[in-house]
A and B are shown apart, each in its own frame.
Chain A
């Protein structure tokens, strides 16, 4: 039975957000007997509710609250009010994610040491490393049922993968396969196998893809230690005269403000909302926002170097059929500065339906150069490029006092300028992606610009020293002992891998630490 806690119960842990970070943390704590209230801004949607129609699903799940953009990234021009394509729902963006589940490479935990100083970049080593994270990654892979780990088989390759694999091999790439995916290739953990539905981004109607919405959340509730309040949008974190957080103020489903007291607050609202909430919680004691003595809250916003390559062939591909992202080439993910940039990138299969292809292939384009590409939609193959981008202090989330959200609070502005390293990497990736398809007879290729960000990272970064970042090695804020951050905003650097597996591994590890500290009476 799901628990029900009193607003004045100050013995509980409040978790803000129920995605890869918050959803996992809430369940892991509940399993250990810790009493948790999870506050989720969105509503609850389960596989039966998901809509396999791109725009209808976007309307159902996407976070569409007021946001603004600035900087030289093309998203600011093409999608000025939509910097990120992420989800407002129980389960957060684990409903939308494609399932790619990769561990960081060893050197990526130590970007500053490995790459050296890069002008304009605010590189820093993580205070943790691959050896420390290995057991937590293993737990995360078992939780998510990641294919090609723990003895689990890989997924079968779909049409888009067949073209991708043939091109990769023709080009001489060695490490190409259908990915390490949190999508079942066989029944696992009470979830069925992938039926190749083709709508991974819209929520998996078979539940073959892991999402906290229908795994961790209900299991946490079943312990009797977790209460999830949906449509509970947190507005402010409160603190006392000793500088400890005491609870949170949120707007409930009816728009009424409630105050939930707490022993510990864990913030997992994604790299845009988490720093925004800290900034919006400024007080006379913390005039620059909570946990911001370093001045790093909101800074070092990363979104991965991204782009796509689509290609047209003289034969049908029908790439919309089947798993959206089950295909990867990892040869370019190494650190090899001879290519003209530090860090590396992954190449991963990607397909969009016709409506989203029209919106994202070349935003703003029109005329026959554009429409002849769509005329060949049936003969199209596609891949996504995702690599490590440079943290920059000036890429940041700030409060836009000229634009207010539905609660009258300043909207977040997302400022992003590409670093020269990001541009050099993207150009290299475009060239290699186009070469993959040209190697198997593409008649036309499209180096497609980045979409609104799904990988939002780094705005409350983890640092050994309090002056360099917002949280310590446990995700505990340097400034406030009972305030933790539990999402991708703690990323010190972004690495080249899709971030969800690392967010989950960090959340499992944080739950272990938190339960232990609570048990010892240290919090």
Chain B
């Protein structure tokens, strides 16, 4: 799930005490974004923490899988927290928030319904920013080995001698 904060030195209570809500799913504080339940946290060094929270929400709205936790989306976009990407991402998220304000919301993260956020994304899907984020997620999200079991995918079988003795023909419903 990317770089997490040192949880041994920061309890859930301390984490929440140092943060403010950013939408329904995230809290942000100085140098980090975390799940509202503080079950995961990700360090942010270059972007504004709220920008990273919005980017994670955007990633989920592009490829929403309700059984996949936010920490996997956070890991998928972790690479954007870099000095050479900062300007592109801050500008892209600013455009997202501006579009949300145009629809009468305080920000993208303050839009409560996925369909409203998706409307915003549809309006910018030809932009370089959107296509960069979407294209990056195809590998950033689905090529995380930790995500595979959530879809049932077992990956390599060579280490156990192939699927020959491990269910290659085990279905009986047809």
Contacts of B166 in A (CB 8 A): 321
Chain B nearest CB, measured from A78 CB (Å) = 11
In the bound complex, how far is the Cα of B170 from the Cα of A336, in angstroms?
38
Confirm or deny: A318 has a beta carbon within 8 angstroms of a beta carbon on chain B. yes
Chain B nearest CB, measured from A192 CB (Å) = 10
Chain A nearest CB, measured from B63 CB (Å) = 5
Contact of A320 among B125, B154, B169, B173 (CB under 8 A): B154
Are A378 and B168 also in contact (CB < 8 A) when A322-B163, A366-B134, A440-B174 are? no
Confirm or deny: A510 has a beta carbon within 8 angstroms of a beta carbon on chain B. no
Confirm or deny: A32 has a beta carbon within 8 angstroms of a beta carbon on chain B. no
Are B168's CB and A354's CB within 8 A?
no
Contacts of A321 in B (CB 8 A): 154, 157, 163, 166-168
Specify the chain A residue showing the minimal Cβ separation from B166: A321
Question: CB-defined interface of A305-327 with B at 8 Å, one 1/0 digit per residue?
Answer: 00000000001111011100000
Specify the chain A residue showing the minimal Cβ separation from B169: A158
In the bound complex, how far is the Cα of B141 from the Cα of A194, in angstroms?
32
Confirm or deny: A377 has a beta carbon within 8 angstroms of a beta carbon on chain B. yes
Contacts of B171 in A (CB 8 A): 159, 162-163, 315-318
What is the size category of the interface that chain B forms with chain A? 35 or more
Are A371's CB and B64's CB within 8 A?
yes
Confirm or deny: B158 has a beta carbon within 8 angstroms of a beta carbon on chain A. yes
Are B65's CB and A162's CB within 8 A?
no
Are B62's CB and A322's CB within 8 A?
no
Contacts of A197 in B (CB 8 A): 156-158, 162-163
Contact of A166 among B154, B162, B174 (CB under 8 A): B174
Are A199's CB and B158's CB within 8 A?
yes
Contacts of A318 in B (CB 8 A): 152, 154, 167, 170-171
Are B134's CB and A375's CB within 8 A?
no
Chain A nearest CB, measured from B44 CB (Å) = 24
Contact of B163 among A166, A198, A440 (CB under 8 A): A198
Are A157's CB and B169's CB within 8 A?
yes
Are B151's CB and A378's CB within 8 A?
yes
Specify the chain A residue showing the minimal Cβ separation from B156: A52
Are A320's CB and B142's CB within 8 A?
no
Confirm or deny: A121 has a beta carbon within 8 angstroms of a beta carbon on chain B. no
Confirm or deny: A33 has a beta carbon within 8 angstroms of a beta carbon on chain B. no
Q: Which of A36-60 contact B (CB under 8 A)?
A: 52-55
Chain B nearest CB, measured from A311 CB (Å) = 12
In the bound complex, how far is the Cα of B162 from the Cα of A366, in angstroms?
33
Are A198's CB and B162's CB within 8 A?
yes
In the bound complex, how far is the Cα of B18 from the Cα of A97, in angstroms?
55
In the bound complex, how far is the Cα of B10 from the Cα of A136, in angstroms?
72
Contact of A315 among B62, B148, B169, B173 (CB under 8 A): B173
Are A375 and B67 also in contact (CB < 8 A) when A196-B164, A205-B158, A316-B152 are? yes
Question: CB-defined interface of B66-85 with A at 8 Å, one 1/0 digit per residue?
Answer: 01000000000000000000
Are B162's CB and A195's CB within 8 A?
yes
Specify the chain B residue showing the minimal Cβ separation from A356: B142
In the bound complex, how far is the Cα of B139 from the Cα of A370, in angstroms?
15
Contacts of B11 in A (CB 8 A): none
Confirm or deny: B155 has a beta carbon within 8 angstroms of a beta carbon on chain A. yes
Q: Which of A356-378 contact B (CB under 8 A)?
A: 357-359, 364, 366-368, 370-371, 374-375, 377-378
Confirm or deny: B153 has a beta carbon within 8 angstroms of a beta carbon on chain A. yes
In the bound complex, how far is the Cα of B148 from the Cα of A161, in angstroms?
23
Are A162's CB and B151's CB within 8 A?
no
Chain B nearest CB, measured from A34 CB (Å) = 38
Confirm or deny: A355 has a beta carbon within 8 angstroms of a beta carbon on chain B. yes
Contacts of A206 in B (CB 8 A): 158, 162
Chain B nearest CB, measured from A207 CB (Å) = 12
Question: CB-defined interface of A168-198 with B at 8 Å, one 1/0 digit per residue?
Answer: 0000000000000000000000000011111
Contact of B169 among A199, A322, A371 (CB under 8 A): A322
Are B169's CB and A162's CB within 8 A?
yes
Specify the chain B residue showing the minimal Cβ separation from A195: B162
Confirm or deny: B104 has a beta carbon within 8 angstroms of a beta carbon on chain A. no
Are B153's CB and A353's CB within 8 A?
yes
Confirm or deny: A156 has a beta carbon within 8 angstroms of a beta carbon on chain B. yes
Contacts of A159 in B (CB 8 A): 167-171
Specify the chain B residue showing the minimal Cβ separation from A366: B62
Specify the chain A residue showing the minimal Cβ separation from B151: A377
Contacts of B169 in A (CB 8 A): 156-159, 161-162, 322
In the bound complex, how far is the Cα of B67 from the Cα of A194, in angstroms?
35
Contacts of A194 in B (CB 8 A): 162, 164
Confirm or deny: B24 has a beta carbon within 8 angstroms of a beta carbon on chain A. no
Contacts of A205 in B (CB 8 A): 158
Are A199 and B156 also in contact (CB < 8 A) when A318-B167, A354-B151 are? yes
Are A53's CB and B62's CB within 8 A?
no
Contacts of B64 in A (CB 8 A): 367-368, 371
Contacts of B138 in A (CB 8 A): 358-359
Question: CB-defined interface of B96-133 with A at 8 Å, one 1/0 digit per residue?
Answer: 00000000000000000000001000000100000000
Q: State the A residues within 8 Å of B (CB).
A: 52-55, 156-159, 161-163, 166, 194-199, 205-206, 315-318, 320-322, 353-355, 357-359, 364, 366-368, 370-371, 374-375, 377-378, 440
Q: State the B residues within 8 Å of A (CB).
A: 62-65, 67, 118, 125, 134, 138-139, 141-143, 147-148, 151-158, 161-164, 166-171, 173-174
15 A–B contacts from the bound complex (CB under 8 Å): A52-B158, A162-B171, A162-B174, A195-B163, A197-B162, A198-B163, A199-B157, A322-B163, A355-B142, A355-B143, A357-B142, A358-B141, A359-B138, A375-B151, A377-B151
Q: Known contacts A158-B169, A318-B152, A354-B153; can you find 10 more A-B pairs with CB under 8 A?
A: A52-B155, A198-B163, A199-B156, A206-B162, A366-B63, A367-B62, A367-B118, A375-B151, A377-B151, A378-B153
3 nearest interchain CB pairs? A195-B162, A378-B152, A322-B168
